[in-house]
Structure 1
Amino acid sequence: MERKQFTLGDIVRLKKQHPCGSYNWQVIRMGADIKIRCRGCGRVVMLPRRDFEKRIIRIEPPEL
């Protein structure tokens, strides 16, 4: 399986909806763990890279 390529600051869409109703998250820290911020309510969550990569549906195009 091909690994998804994402970088710091990217907006990603995850499989499950956050309780606030948003699917989009911004990558704010990368390493063995990935820290993401909800684009709806601002909640910050840290996930192991492996789990994060399983949950990604797509990387959203940059906002202009």
Structure 2
Amino acid sequence: MPDRYALGDIVEMKKQHPCGSRQWEVIRTGADFRIKCVGCGHQVMLARTKFEKSVKKIIKSNLIDEK
């Protein structure tokens, strides 16, 4: 099963960050995800399950479709 998220993706989370932004950039993938707030630059490490439940939609994807 291919990964749905890639480095550099911009995702919108369900909950708003205290700075007011909902957009986060994925900067590490694996069992844990590290994401960086687009608004203020704050970084957070989340378990994969919590990250996948918290994502509302992918705004910009860096995945290349392979056919």
Give how far 1:61 is off. Answer: 3.1
- Runs of 4 or more, structure 1, over 3 Å off, are none
Question: TM-score, normalized by length of structure 2?
Answer: 0.83
Partner deviation per Cα, 1:6-55 (whole Å, 9 max, x = no partner): 11100000000000000000000011000000000000000000000000
Percent identity, please.
56
User: Which of the two has higher C-alpha Rg?
Assistant: 2
**What letter corresponds to residue 61 of structure 1 in structure 2?**
K
Partner of 2:33: 34
Question: TM-score, normalized by length of structure 1?
Answer: 0.87
RMSD over aligned Cα atoms: 1.3
Distance 1:19 1:9 in 2: 22
Partner of 1:60: 59
